[in-house]
Structure 1
Amino acid sequence: MQQQVLSSRPSIRPAVLALGAAIAFLCASARAGDLAYPNVAFSGFGSVGLTHASIRSADFTSSIMKSSGAGRTERWSPDVDSRLGAQLDLTLNKELSAVVQAVSEQRKDGSYKPAIEWANVKYQVSPDLSLRAGRIALPIFLAADYRKVGYAYPWVRTPVEVYNAIPLTSSDGVDANYRWNLGSVKNATQVFYGRTKKDLWDNATVEAHGIAGLSHTTSYGDASVRMSFLTANLTIDLARELFDAYRQFGPQGVAIADRFDIAHRRTSASSIGVNYDPGKWFAMAELGRIKTGGSYAGDSWTGYASAGFRSGDLTPYVAYAMVDPDSAIADPGIALDTLPASYRPLAATANGYLQSSLATIAVQSTVTVGTRWDLAPGMALKVQYDRVSPTDGSRGTLVNVDPGRFRSGQPFHVASAVLDFVF
């Protein structure tokens, strides 16, 4: 499996049409080239999971882009980690190939409608240089290329504090990959450019234009380091009515709206990850930096460290993850005593919504222990315990929060079991 990302659109039709046109072009090229027929390969992967969370005032889930999870909605939820994916690889000759991948998992509307994760065409310019066009993974974080393939990593799920920080994980555009060596040190450098749009809820969308970035991986023996950086022009219209209302209150309201609104705001994300795996044991860690200019999405540091050892078919592991913002997670809003009495109720309501929006900026840490059992080729059973602690008035990475019952600063417990497989 070559890459792995979340869907960037609720409809699969545009990507399917684009891939169909690409395949038609590639087949025509193959007839004129050195292969009489294309080489087609089919593969797949999946996870069947069950998760229990002790919290009753919110839902724990693996992605903020899901509609529900374990806790408030269901004590035991299969939706947190369950998914099914299929991939089709088409190779025409040594230069031309294409890939399409679809994944079915819970979406924000609660459905399991399959979504196109990848759909791109690749041209191998030389043994070391390749070019791609289409839907491509954003190479941020170590597991960016395979985060949906649970079998590929030791835990039940990738650390939510880190991987939830960037809900947009693919772009429709182009990239170039170049592999080069310095003696026994292997290097891979990727540059990319694109755009993406994703539907949220309440008819809201998130759009990123002018996504441009660089990713570089260096490997030496059993160790590898991946460094990535991207920047994008980001718009999220989830709180559009709130900030439109603030702008009706004159200069003070306009200043608040300009400070927190996310409308054509230049944002950036950077990360560095280290993995050391000599076989008998492994250790890995990542650190990420997300900057949105102090908006209601927050500026945050994210990171985790994990280690484990292998004893036969068993791999016990531990991990610690955190997300810590360095931008405002609370603000008083408009000073009510500066407004006419008739305006104060509306302004107070706007201030309340602003506080609710800022409370979605995650401040959270998680301690994890678990075990992976490779019970058969291509199949692994994992069990995991997490102690999750949202703090500082934040709801952390929780969804479906009941504001009347939820109390930040109270740790809760999550127990998970998942069967991962590839075929």
Structure 2
Amino acid sequence: MTAVFLPKRAAVATLMMLSCCVARAGEPADDAGATPRWSVGGFGTLGVVHSSDDQSDFTANPLTPGNAGHGRDWSHSVDSRAGVQLGLDLDSKWSAVLQLVYESTLRYGYHPVVEWANVQYKLTPDLSLRVGRIALPLFLVGDYRKAGYALPWVRPPVELYGAIPITNSDGVDATYRWQSGDLHHVTQAFYGYADLPLTPTARAQARGIIGLSNTTTSGALTVRASVMASDLSVGLGRELFDGLRQFGAQGRALAQRYQLEDKRAQVGTLGLSYDPGAWFAMGEISRFNSHSSLGDTTSAYVSAGYRYRDFTPYVALSHAHANMATRVDGLDLSGLPAPMAAAGAQLNAGLNQMLMEIPRQRTVGAGVRWDFYANHALKLQVERVTPQQGSAGTFINVQPGFRSGRPITVLSAALDFVF
């Protein structure tokens, strides 16, 4: 059976299969006596990953950690997940959707997570409002980044998508569809917050999330630009920063500069995709500034692929760069008594260790996708990932023997499907 893969069509097909709003778009609606219509869909990925470095673990997302490398020779937790979506169309204006994703989490291991849960009201055919838990419209594949079948690769490039691991927010948004000449636009404004558990005692909170996204399509070309800001707090490293404050004004200044507590973080993204059918090319660039030890980074990738029958070979190149110093002098310890100087030296080392965790990394990868059956795809992917300039890149669980600057081979295989 021939099951041709086209990136744009696969994404559209996935969203249609998972969207209650279009589940029965072809059926006429009689609002006066409309009967609620239900729809159920889902997606899944069965994946395994191997990393050649046994002094760290490869992960695609710091909030859904994997353990390929030091933890396990082959890991299933990096990419494997399952999702189910329940949709309800009340009439031609009102609809609701609930999406649950079962995947690896920081606190609970594999655990079901509410990814979407919102109610939509269409004011006009072109203007709609939603309230509830809504996907953040960042990046080209941000709407379906967890539905692997819609992606040409095993996973989105980790340098870019791992830098903004928050995928949804609780709040409201407004979406307006409009046209200028041959250009079709979808403009989305959103506001909300996100609260995520990290450890038994720490959480990540993004308050006052506000943003604007615009997607423009013209034939085979798609362009998405997004900006977002929020007050970001991450409850990690508090002992370090409390210790710095014990050293007077200079310590308080360092804590104020680097502690991630109610910092106004901003992100801007720009992505382009061209998909005429026989081949595709796409790329994105993002700038994220947390005004803290989490970093100020620029990340980007380019990728291209060619379709031949049921097979789509592809290549990708991605990079993450730090726009700030990742090593600082820290506390001035001159003239301090020996015990205080020793304590201060430990605090300086802890601060620099935290700054060294800001990813600086380059990845070169290639793979092939085989659409062997309708709504099913098998992918094989190989990457050479090189953390740079003393950084561990996007690798986690780093051991004392880890060496930055050495290429690490990451092998991935995944079976993706939608239903």
| TM superposition score normalised by structure 1 | 0.91
Q: Is the 8 A contact 1:120 1:132 kept in 2?
A: yes
Q: Is the 8 A contact 2:264 2:290 kept in 1?
A: yes
Aligned residue identity for 1:325: A
* TM superposition shift of 1:55: 0.3
Aligned residue identity for 1:396: G
The superposition leaves residues 173-193 of structure 1 with CA deviations (integer Å, 9 ceiling, x where unpaired) of 000000001122101100000
Aligned counterpart, 1:407: 403
Question: What SS class does the counterpart of residue 114 from structure 1 fall into?
Answer: strand
Distance in 1 of aligned mates of 2:260 and 2:216: 35
Q: Is the 8 A contact 2:50 2:412 kept in 1?
A: yes
The superposition leaves residues 247-299 of structure 1 with CA deviations (integer Å, 9 ceiling, x where unpaired) of 11001111111111111111100000000001100000000010112x11110
Aligned residue identity for 1:367: V
Count of matched residue pairs: 394
Q: Is the 8 A contact 1:3 1:146 kept in 2?
A: no
Q: Is the 8 A contact 2:382 2:409 kept in 1?
A: yes
Mapping of 1:267-346 within 5 angstroms? 267-293=265-291, 295-346=292-343
Q: Which of residues 66, 79, 82 is equivalent to 1:81?
A: 79
Aligned counterpart, 2:95: 97
Aligned counterpart, 2:382: 385
Counterparts in 2 of 1:368 and 1:75: CA distance versus 1, 3 Å = same
The superposition leaves residues 34-62 of structure 1 with CA deviations (integer Å, 9 ceiling, x where unpaired) of 34431000000000011111001000011
Distance in 2 of aligned mates of 1:358 and 1:253: 16
Aligned residue identity for 1:179: R
* TM superposition shift of 1:356: 1.7
Distance in 2 of aligned mates of 1:35 and 1:274: 44
Mapping of 1:13-412 within 5 angstroms? 33-109=31-107, 111-201=109-199, 203-293=201-291, 295-402=292-399, 404-412=400-408
Distance in 2 of aligned mates of 1:278 and 1:231: 34
Distance in 1 of aligned mates of 2:223 and 2:65: 34
* TM superposition shift of 1:352: 1.8
Aligned residue identity for 2:56: A
Distance in 1 of aligned mates of 2:278 and 2:148: 20
Distance in 2 of aligned mates of 1:321 and 1:81: 19
Q: Is the 8 A contact 1:66 1:110 kept in 2?
A: no
Q: Is the 8 A contact 1:67 1:109 kept in 2?
A: no
* TM superposition shift of 1:208: 0.9
Structure 1 residue ranges (4+ consecutive) displaced by more than 4 angstroms after TM superposition: 1-4
Counterparts in 2 of 1:115 and 1:35: CA distance versus 1, 3 Å = farther
Structure 2 unaligned blocks of 5 or more: 1-13, 18-29
| TM superposition score normalised by structure 2 | 0.92
Aligned residue identity for 2:125: P
Distance in 1 of aligned mates of 2:335 and 2:99: 56
Distance in 1 of aligned mates of 2:201 and 2:15: 33
* TM superposition shift of 1:206: 1.0
Q: Is the 8 A contact 1:3 1:137 kept in 2?
A: no
Counterparts in 2 of 1:331 and 1:75: CA distance versus 1, 3 Å = same
Distance in 2 of aligned mates of 1:328 and 1:69: 29
Question: What SS class does the counterpart of residue 349 from structure 2 fall into?
Answer: helix
Q: Is the 8 A contact 2:35 2:91 kept in 1?
A: no
Structure 1 unaligned blocks of 5 or more: 5-31
Distance in 2 of aligned mates of 1:47 and 1:324: 30
Aligned counterpart, 1:18: none
The superposition leaves residues 343-364 of structure 1 with CA deviations (integer Å, 9 ceiling, x where unpaired) of 1222122112112211110000
Distance in 1 of aligned mates of 2:403 and 2:248: 34
Name the Cα RMSD after superposition. Answer: 1.5
Question: What SS class does the counterpart of residue 341 from structure 2 fall into?
Answer: helix
* TM superposition shift of 1:67: 4.0
Q: Is the 8 A contact 1:67 1:110 kept in 2?
A: no
The superposition leaves residues 112-138 of structure 1 with CA deviations (integer Å, 9 ceiling, x where unpaired) of 110100000000111100000000111
Question: What SS class does the counterpart of residue 99 from structure 2 fall into?
Answer: strand
Distance in 2 of aligned mates of 1:35 and 1:268: 47
Aligned residue identity for 2:78: V
* TM superposition shift of 1:244: 1.1
